[in-house]
Chain A
Amino acid sequence: MRDAIFVTGGSGFVGRHLVPLLARSRRVFALRRPGSPRSSAGAGVISIEADLANTELYAHALAECSMVVHLAAATGKRPATEYFRVNTEGTTRLLQACRAAGVPRFLFMSTIAATFPDRRHYPYAESKARAENAVRECGLDYLIVRPTVVLGPGAPAWTGLAALARGAVVVVPGEGRALMQPIDVGDLVTAVDELVERFPSPDTIVELGGPEQVTVEALLRGISRRRGGSAPRVVHLPLGPMIGVLARLEPRLLRVLPVTAGQLSAFRYDTTARPPRTGLASAPAKGVEVMLDEAGLGRARETEASLTQECRALTMHLVGHEPPPYVVDRYGDAHARLTRLRGGSAFDRILVKLAVRHPFLARLADAYTAVFARRALVRQKWVLLLALLETTGSTAGHLDRPDHRSPVRLALSALTVAAGSAVSFAFSLVTILPLHAACVAGALIRPRLSR
C-alpha cells in the first residue's frame, strides 16, 4: 500500500523539524547520511541509513511511498564539486529511482538563491538551480519549495551570519541594503506539512519567507547586539572584489576562510519571497526580532560550543589526541569560573582564534608566545589544559610516559620536534610578530583617535 512518505535529509536541520510533524498522520521513511546522529524521531518513523547516491539501498522503501520530500543537500563550506555531486547528481539519481519505483509525487526543497541572476561564484545556488531543472523535466508531479534564509535555534545559517557579526566590528558585505526575509524553521515545516497534505496544483513553485523583510545590515546589527556588542561599529566591504578574491582563494584555503564567496553572494541580491499564489492556511508568523531572541546568540551558548571546539583544537596541538569528555567539561567549567580566561586584549583573542583554526597556526601561536608573550591568553589556556590532562586518569600518560626507551630513537624524535619548533618560530616571526606589532600600535593609536 502506497501510504508512506519518503524524506531525504531526515537528520538535517529542516528534516529534524519536519519528520516528526509528517509522522503525526503518516508513515515516514527518513533517509539519513551514514554517520549522522541518530535522532529520536519517535513512533511512525523508519530510519534508513544510506547515502543518497546508493538508491538500491532504499528502493524497497520508495515502493511503499506516495511522495518523496527531498531535503538532503550539501550546504555550508564545501568544494564546488561536492555541491554538484550531492545536490545535482544526487537529485537526478533520486528522481530516476522514484520513477523506477513508481512514486507519483516529488517535493523538492530548493532555495531562493536558485533565482539569483549571477551564480558564477555560488556553486551551491547553481547546483540547486540545476537540480530544479532536473525535477521539472523528470515527468513526476512535482512541487518546488524555495525558502529564504531559514533560521531557528541551531540553524546552520547562523554560522555564516555570526562570522560577520563577531567581535566589536560588524562586517557588512557591500552596501548592506539588500533585503532579507528570514523564515523560522517552525513556520517553514508547518507550511511544508500543509503542502504535502494538499499538494496544490502539480508542477508549482512556492517561495516561502517570513512575515518581515529587513536589510542585511539591520540583521547583522541585531545579531551583534545579542552577542553582547553594544552599538557595534559597522564596516562596509566592497562586495564585488571580496567575492572575486575569495573565489580565487577558495580552492586552496577553503578550511580557513571564515565565509565563502557563495555565502557573500547571498548579500548581493534581495532574498525575499514572492507571496505564494496557492495561499496557505498557516501563514509564517515569527518575526525577525523573535527569531534573533530565540537563536541563543547570547554569549553563554555560543561560548559553550566554541569552548568545546577550542578545547579540542588546543588539546590536539599539545598531545596529538582528542580530549576526553571530562576534560572538555572541566575546561568549560574553568572558563566559567576564572575571569583571567575571558576577555584579554585584541591580540590575545586573535591568537586564540588562530590556534583553534588550524594546527599549523596553533604551532605558530605556541612558538611565538613561548618567547614574546609568555602570559598570552592562549598560553594560559594551554597551561590550564595541561593541568586538566595530567590530573585525568585516562590522559595523564600523555604527560609522563616517555615516547621511546631507546636513546637513539628518542634523540631522533627530539631532533624532529626541535626542528619543527624552530621552523614554527621562524614562521611566527614573519606572521605573528607583525600582527602583534599592529595590535600594539592600534592600541596606542586608538585612544588618540577617540580624543
Chain B
Amino acid sequence: MKRVIVVGSGASGVHFALSALRKGHAVTVLDVGRGRPPAVLGDAGFTELKQRLPDPARYFLGEEYEAVLFPGADHEYYGFPPSKTYVFSPEARLRVEARGFAPLFSFAQGGLAEAWTAGCYPLTAEELQSFPFRYDELAPHYEEVARRIGVTGAKDDLSRFFPLQENLLQPLRLDSHSELLLAAYERDKEYFAGRLRCFMGRSRVAVLSADAGGRKACTYTGRCLWGCPSGALYTPSLTLEECRRYPEFTYLSGHYVTHLNVDTARRVIGVSAEPVGGGPSRSVGGDAVVLAAGTLCSTQIYARSVQEATGEIPTLRGLMDNRQVLVPFVTLRRIGVPYEPTSYQYHQLALGIEGATAADYVHAQITTLKTALAHPIIQNVPADLRTATFLFRNVRGGLGLVNVNFADHRRETNFVTLRPGATREPPTLIIAYEPDPDEPARIARAVRTVRRALWRLGAIVPPGMSHVRPMGASVHYAGTLPMSTARGTHTLSRMGSSNFFENLYIVDGSGFPSLPAKNLTFTLMANAVRVAHEAF
C-alpha cells in the first residue's frame, strides 16, 4: 500500500483516486474545493422554475446581474449562470499573464467538468499515434470509465470515428428538432459521405438514460446548464463522493498547493499547501504525488518546484487547446414551431468531418436550441432589438448551434513559464500562444463544409454570425509536459511519471503529446485510470 497524494479533484484526479483506492492504496486529495450551491426545486422544469421561484431573476441572472450578457460580449451565445460561477471563481493566489490566450481556471470541487456539456469520445488508434501507448492498452480503461460515469450513444455513422464501446447506454430521448435533422441526414447519406466526407450521428454524452448506481436517469427538466438537479448528467464531484466512502481516503479541501516537497535526490516526498482561508503553509507527506490540477495549474506547480529545486525557471513548451468555431443555424421547417423546454439541453448530435490524416479530423457537436437564456442570442441578431425579439420568438424552435472543434499539435511558440514575484509574493504564470499559420485556411474549409451540410439538412447559417472563439475558450488545455518514449528533461514516461522528479506522476492534460479535435475529457479520465493500474 502506498500513500498517494493527488492534487486536484477534477475529472483526472478523481478517477485516478478511485482506481488507486480500489487497488488498496491510501489516497489524499488536496484541492481548493469550492462547493456547488444546493440545487433548488429539484423536481421543477425550466419553465416551472421561473414561475415557482420567488426571485427568478436572482437565480438565473445573479444577485449582481453577473449572468446578463450585455452588449459588448458579442458573439457569445450563452453566459455561465450564477449557479455555476463557483466553477470559475478566481483564486487570488494565482496570478496570470496571457498572450494570445484567454485562460479559464477552476478551483471547484470536481473542477472544470462541473460545467461541461458531457461529450465523451474515445480517441482512435490513429489519434493516439503520438502517445506512448496503443489504443488497445487504453481501451479497457475507456470501458471502465464508461461503467463508472454512464455514457449514452448509438451505433451509427459516427462509430467510424469513435470506436464503439461495450458499455454504452441507450441514447437519450431525441428532441424533435434534432430528430428532424437526423432524419434529413439519413435520407441524404450518400451526398454527405461522397461529397462532404462528413458523417452525422448521435453524440456521446455522460448522462444516464436509465437509473444506475444510485443515480437517477435524466428527467428532461431542461436545466443542464444551471446544474442537473438529479445527478443524471455526470460531473466529477459524483466520483469524489464515491471516493469518500473508502476508509483509506482523505479529502483535504481548502488547500492551494504551491509546490512539491523534494529531497536532495529530486525525490518527491510531499507537497506544500496554503490553507485557502489564510494561515501558515503546511506540508503533506506521501510516497508519491499525482498532479491532476489541470494543465495550467499542474504546470505552474511543476515549474515552481523545478525553480525551488534548481533555482532555474523552466519554460514548458507545447501548450495546446482546441480552437472552437460557433456556427449558428436556423432550420427552416422549424420556424413557427414552439420549442421543447422538456428535453436534454445540450448536444444530442455530432458531425465528424474526415480529413486527410487523423490529425485533420474535425469534430462538431450540434446543439439545437431548447432551454436557454434568450437575451444573448437576441442581441447578436443584426437587427434592432424589437425586430430581433420578434424574429427570435418565431424562429426559436428552429435555432441551433454547431460547435466546430479543431485539433491542435505541440509547437515551440506556445509555452507556459513563471515570472518570479517580489519577496513573499507568488510568481506570475506566463502563458503565450500563437495559432498555427495554416489555421485560418483549415477553419474556412471546415466551416464551408458545415455550412453545406446544414443547407442540405434544410438549415441556413445567418450571414455574419459565425464566430471563431478565442484560444483558451474551449478549456481543453494540454501538452506542456508530454508523455513520450524519448526521455526529455521535462517530459513524462508512458506511465505518466516525471523524468525530472522521482515519485511524481502527472495524469491531466499536461501529459498529452497531441490534442485531437474531440473533447479530451473522456481520455483524461481513461488515462488517469490507466496510470493508476499500470504504475500503482
Find the B residue at minimum CB distance from A390: B374
Q: Which residues of B contact A338 (CB under 8 A)?
A: 64-65
The contact sample of 20 A-B pairs, CB cut-off 8 A, is A318-B385, A318-B386, A330-B57, A370-B385, A370-B388, A375-B71, A376-B71, A379-B379, A382-B385, A383-B378, A386-B379, A392-B50, A393-B52, A394-B51, A396-B47, A398-B393, A400-B338, A400-B374, A402-B396, A410-B336
A393 contacts B56, C-beta separation under 8 Å: yes
Partner of A375, one of B60, B64, B72, B374: B72
Say if the beta carbon of B505 comes within 8 Å of chain A.
no
In Å, the complex CA distance between A386 and B69 comes to 10
A391 contacts B373, C-beta separation under 8 Å: yes
Say if the beta carbon of B246 comes within 8 Å of chain A.
no
In Å, the complex CA distance between A387 and B386 comes to 14
A387 contacts B373, C-beta separation under 8 Å: yes
A418 contacts B386, C-beta separation under 8 Å: no
Q: Which residues of A contact B147 (CB under 8 A)?
A: none
Contact of A337 with B65 at beta-carbon distance under 8 Å, contacts A392-B57, A402-B393 already known? yes
- Distance in Å: Cβ of A433 to nearest Cβ of chain B: 15
In Å, the complex CA distance between A363 and B384 comes to 8
Say if the beta carbon of A404 comes within 8 Å of chain B.
yes
The proximity string for B residues 41-60 relative to A, scoring 1 for CB distances below 8 Å and 0 otherwise, is 00000010011100011011
B373 contacts A318, C-beta separation under 8 Å: no
In Å, the complex CA distance between A318 and B375 comes to 12
A340 contacts B394, C-beta separation under 8 Å: no
B71 contacts A400, C-beta separation under 8 Å: no
In Å, the complex CA distance between A376 and B379 comes to 12
B56 contacts A383, C-beta separation under 8 Å: no
B56 contacts A386, C-beta separation under 8 Å: no
Q: Which of A360-384 contact B (CB under 8 A)?
A: 363, 366-367, 369-370, 374-376, 379-380, 382-384
Q: Which residues of A contact B130 (CB under 8 A)?
A: none
The proximity string for B residues 364-404 relative to A, scoring 1 for CB distances below 8 Å and 0 otherwise, is 00000000011100110011111111111110110000000
Say if the beta carbon of A249 comes within 8 Å of chain B.
no
Contact of A387 with B61 at beta-carbon distance under 8 Å, contacts A318-B385, A319-B389, A380-B71 already known? yes
B70 contacts A402, C-beta separation under 8 Å: no
Q: Which residues of A contact B59 (CB under 8 A)?
A: 391
A318 contacts B69, C-beta separation under 8 Å: no
A392 contacts B393, C-beta separation under 8 Å: no
Q: Which residues of B contact A340 (CB under 8 A)?
A: 70
B68 contacts A400, C-beta separation under 8 Å: no
A383 contacts B65, C-beta separation under 8 Å: no
Say if the beta carbon of B335 comes within 8 Å of chain A.
yes
B386 contacts A393, C-beta separation under 8 Å: no
B50 contacts A391, C-beta separation under 8 Å: yes
- Distance in Å: Cβ of B483 to nearest Cβ of chain A: 45
B384 contacts A421, C-beta separation under 8 Å: yes
Contact of A402 with B385 at beta-carbon distance under 8 Å, contacts A384-B70, A392-B56 already known? no
Say if the beta carbon of B337 comes within 8 Å of chain A.
yes
Q: Which residues of B contact A404 (CB under 8 A)?
A: 336, 394
Q: B-side interface residues toward A, CB under 8 Å?
A: 47, 50-52, 56-57, 59-61, 64-65, 67-72, 74, 335-339, 373-375, 378-379, 382-394, 396-397
Say if the beta carbon of A405 comes within 8 Å of chain B.
yes
List 16 extra interface pairs beyond A379-B71, A399-B393, CB under 8 A: A330-B57, A337-B65, A370-B384, A370-B385, A374-B74, A379-B379, A383-B378, A384-B68, A386-B379, A399-B389, A400-B374, A400-B396, A402-B338, A403-B394, A420-B387, A421-B384
A391 contacts B56, C-beta separation under 8 Å: yes
- Distance in Å: Cβ of A391 to nearest Cβ of chain B: 4
Say if the beta carbon of A401 comes within 8 Å of chain B.
yes
In Å, the complex CA distance between A366 and B394 comes to 20
A383 contacts B69, C-beta separation under 8 Å: yes
A421 contacts B383, C-beta separation under 8 Å: yes
- Distance in Å: Cβ of A100 to nearest Cβ of chain B: 55
In Å, the complex CA distance between A382 and B339 comes to 24
In Å, the complex CA distance between A418 and B384 comes to 10
Say if the beta carbon of A406 comes within 8 Å of chain B.
yes
B375 contacts A390, C-beta separation under 8 Å: yes
B385 contacts A399, C-beta separation under 8 Å: no
In Å, the complex CA distance between A28 and B67 comes to 55
- Distance in Å: Cβ of B396 to nearest Cβ of chain A: 5
In Å, the complex CA distance between A338 and B61 comes to 13
Q: Which 3 A-B pairs have the closest CB atoms?
A: A393-B51, A386-B375, A366-B384
Q: How many A-B residue pairs have CB under 8 A?
A: 138
Q: Which residues of A contact B384 (CB under 8 A)?
A: 363, 366-367, 369-370, 421, 424-425
Contact of A407 with B57 at beta-carbon distance under 8 Å, contacts A384-B65, A386-B389 already known? no
In Å, the complex CA distance between A401 and B375 comes to 14
A383 contacts B385, C-beta separation under 8 Å: yes
Contact of A401 with B393 at beta-carbon distance under 8 Å, contacts A370-B383, A391-B60 already known? yes
In Å, the complex CA distance between A376 and B384 comes to 12
- Distance in Å: Cβ of B85 to nearest Cβ of chain A: 16
In Å, the complex CA distance between A402 and B392 comes to 9
Q: Which residues of A contact B392 (CB under 8 A)?
A: 399-400
Say if the beta carbon of A311 comes within 8 Å of chain B.
no
B387 contacts A418, C-beta separation under 8 Å: yes
Say if the beta carbon of A334 comes within 8 Å of chain B.
yes
A402 contacts B390, C-beta separation under 8 Å: no
Partner of A403, one of B57, B65, B393: B393
In Å, the complex CA distance between A391 and B67 comes to 12
Say if the beta carbon of A317 comes within 8 Å of chain B.
yes
Q: Which residues of A contact B336 (CB under 8 A)?
A: 402, 404-407, 410
Q: Which of A215-273 contact B (CB under 8 A)?
A: none
Say if the beta carbon of A426 comes within 8 Å of chain B.
no
Q: Which residues of A contact B65 (CB under 8 A)?
A: 334, 337-338, 384, 387
Say if the beta carbon of A417 comes within 8 Å of chain B.
yes
- Distance in Å: Cβ of B381 to nearest Cβ of chain A: 9
Partner of A393, one of B50, B383, B387: B50
Find the B residue at minimum CB distance from A319: B389
- Distance in Å: Cβ of B119 to nearest Cβ of chain A: 26
Q: Which residues of A contact B387 (CB under 8 A)?
A: 417-418, 420-421
In Å, the complex CA distance between A355 and B14 comes to 54
Say if the beta carbon of A73 comes within 8 Å of chain B.
no
Q: Which of A385-439 contact B (CB under 8 A)?
A: 386-388, 390-394, 396, 398-407, 410, 413-414, 417-418, 420-421, 424-425
- Distance in Å: Cβ of B382 to nearest Cβ of chain A: 7
A370 contacts B382, C-beta separation under 8 Å: yes
Partner of A400, one of B69, B70, B339, B385: B339
Q: Which residues of B contact A383 (CB under 8 A)?
A: 68-71, 375, 378-379, 385
Find the B residue at minimum CB distance from A380: B70
In Å, the complex CA distance between A421 and B389 comes to 12
In Å, the complex CA distance between A375 and B71 comes to 5
Q: Which residues of B contact A406 (CB under 8 A)?
A: 336
- Distance in Å: Cβ of A33 to nearest Cβ of chain B: 35
B338 contacts A401, C-beta separation under 8 Å: yes
In Å, the complex CA distance between A18 and B212 comes to 74
Find the A residue at minimum CB distance from B48: A393
Q: Which residues of A contact B391 (CB under 8 A)?
A: 414, 417
- Distance in Å: Cβ of A420 to nearest Cβ of chain B: 8
In Å, the complex CA distance between A414 and B392 comes to 11
In Å, the complex CA distance between A317 and B384 comes to 11
Contact of A387 with B71 at beta-carbon distance under 8 Å, contacts A421-B387, A425-B384 already known? no
In Å, the complex CA distance between A384 and B66 comes to 11
Find the A residue at minimum CB distance from B337: A402
Find the B residue at minimum CB distance from A403: B394
Partner of B386, one of A366, A407, A413: A366
- Distance in Å: Cβ of A332 to nearest Cβ of chain B: 12
Partner of A390, one of B72, B335, B373, B386: B373
B393 contacts A391, C-beta separation under 8 Å: no
- Distance in Å: Cβ of A329 to nearest Cβ of chain B: 9
Find the B residue at minimum CB distance from A377: B71
In Å, the complex CA distance between A386 and B377 comes to 11
In Å, the complex CA distance between A414 and B390 comes to 8
Find the A residue at minimum CB distance from B64: A337
In Å, the complex CA distance between A93 and B262 comes to 101
